């Protein structure tokens, strides 16, 4: 059975070489005994072949009966193919964007723990890459010039971890100077988000252990924890951090500052163990991916507003809302777009290539990022 992991503080002074993981942690008992290896490179001869540029129109197949005509256009600008480790192709799992860069996280579909990170600049050039020979990466998030990510590592008895690496904007590269990794003590960490000086990570486990939400400071020291069975995803909404519990079928809301004043509202249970389902918040709405049940929409108080289904075989796994548009990914059933201002309505389905199963999407500023596992990431410009 595949297991998952935690890393320690890494320090490096050169790019493009294999590095042994060492630790500056005060908790010696948490440190894995064997040295672990990673590879970091910014060699453009190695990286450039993984990006293909396009300028191709993406159509929107209008939903029958839709009152809203698209007031935007979509253009495919680039595709990023996944890296490999020892001939094993990784799969894209997560994306985040901070205007001048975006990052893609990877894991491996198999028994080994392999993972990676890609740093792509605003010109859609792949500038830097880190490969991990002992860690799957589940989710990534920027906070200034720091990148936080979570996953699982084969070097720990309890594999869930959170780690941070630095971004050097001047050279457009990752940096392992003062790198830091901390064990979270569960089977897997599956999502991470930030607000102000705090980092929030969800962890999942079997039913005997449950799962939960961690609050940490920027140095990855724990400042709070809430036990939440089958925690799948965390998202920030105003003064609260929201957590989606899968099998329990609830969304929990806690104050960001100290995880106090907890409240919850009932949601549809997502019974598929370990499957991804996400939350996105915009305006007065909370959008929740509900697996085979489709998309659920709630107001800020947690009152049910509406739901949408996307046909037989569709599995709604990811939602992303921004500037009045909502994009919804449904695995092999494709990506749909809806409007939520002034009213909620599904506009239509994106005319993407058939056969690719989408596992996460992100819409920020004027770019839509579509992650398709082994198919990599598509970068689509949204023209308003």
We report the CATH number of the domain holding residue 247 as 2.130.10.10
With cut-offs at 50, 70 and 90, classify the pLDDT of residue 6: very low
Residue 240 lies in a domain: yes
Cβ contacts of 64 within 8 Å, gap of 6 or more: none
**Angstrom distance (rounded) from CA 232 to CA 279:** 10
Residue 11 lies in a domain: no
Residue 1 lies in a domain: no
HSE-up of residue 276 (Cα within 13 Å, Cβ side):
21
- Please tell me the pTM assigned to this model: 0.89
Does residue 28 have a pLDDT over 60?
no
With cut-offs at 50, 70 and 90, classify the pLDDT of residue 271: low
**Angstrom distance (rounded) from CA 307 to CA 221:** 39
**Angstrom distance (rounded) from CA 282 to CA 341:** 10
Instruction: Name the average pLDDT for the chain.
Output: 88
Report yes or no: 18 and 35 within 8 Å, Cβ to Cβ. no
Residue 4 lies in a domain: no
HSE-up of residue 262 (Cα within 13 Å, Cβ side):
12
With cut-offs at 50, 70 and 90, classify the pLDDT of residue 39: very high
CA nearest neighbour of 350 among 326, 332, 362, 334: 334
Encoded tokens for 298: 């709630």
Q: How many independent structural domains does the chain possess?
A: 1
Residue 8 lies in a domain: no
pLDDT digits (tens, 9 = 90+) for 41-74: 999 999 999 999 999 999 999 987 777 778 899 9
Does residue 2 have a pLDDT over 70?
no
Domain limits for position 353: 17-383
CA nearest neighbour of 268 among 249, 282, 251: 249
Encoded tokens for 108: 């491996």
Residue 213 lies in a domain: yes
Residue 7 lies in a domain: no
């Amino acid at each position: 059975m595949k297991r998952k992991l935690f890393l320690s503080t890494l320090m490096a002074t050169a790019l493009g070489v294999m590095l042994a993981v060492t630790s500056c942690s005060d908790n010696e008992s948490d440190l894995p005994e064997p040295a672990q290896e990673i590879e970091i490179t910014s060699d453009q001869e190695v990286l450039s072949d993984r990006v293909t540029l396009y300028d191709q129109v993406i159509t929107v197949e209008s939903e029958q009966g839709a009152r809203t005509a698209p007031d935007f256009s979509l253009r495919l600008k680039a595709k990023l193919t996944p890296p490999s480790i020892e001939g094993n192709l990784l799969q894209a799992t997560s994306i985040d964007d901070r205007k001048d860069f975006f990052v893609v996280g990877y894991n491996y579909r198999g028994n080994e723990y392999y993972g990676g990170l890609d740093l792509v600049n605003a010109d859609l050039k792949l500038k830097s890459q880190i490969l991990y020979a002992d860690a799957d990466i589940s989710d990534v998030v920027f906070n200034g010039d720091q990148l936080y990510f979570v996953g699982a590592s084969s070097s720990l008895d309890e594999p869930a971890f959170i780690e941070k690496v630095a971004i050097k904007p001047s050279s457009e590269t990752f940096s392992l100077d003062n790198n830091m990794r901390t064990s979270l003590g569960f089977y897997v960490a599956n999502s991470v988000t930030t607000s102000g000086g705090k980092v929030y990570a969800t962890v999942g486990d079997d039913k005997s252990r449950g799962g939960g939400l961690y609050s940490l400071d920027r140095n990855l020291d724990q400042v709070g924890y809430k036990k939440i069975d089958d925690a799948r995803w965390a998202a920030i909404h105003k003064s609260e951090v929201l957590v989606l519990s899968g099998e329990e079928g609830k969304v929990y809301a806690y104050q960001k500052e100290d995880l106090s004043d907890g409240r919850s509202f009932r949601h549809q249970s997502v019974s598929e163990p370990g499957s991804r389902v996400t939350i996105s918040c915009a305006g007065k709405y909370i959008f929740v991916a509900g697996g085979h049940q489709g998309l659920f929409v709630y107001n800020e108080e947690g009152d049910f507003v509406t739901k949408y289904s996307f046909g037989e075989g569709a599995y709604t796994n990811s939602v992303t809302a921004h500037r009045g548009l909502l994009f919804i990914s449904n695995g092999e059933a494709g990506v749909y777009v809806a409007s939520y201002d002034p009213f909620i309505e599904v506009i239509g389905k994106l005319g993407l290539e058939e056969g690719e199963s989408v596992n996460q999407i992100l819409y920020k500023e004027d770019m839509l990022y579509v992650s398709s596992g082994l198919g990599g990431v598509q970068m689509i410009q949204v023209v308003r």
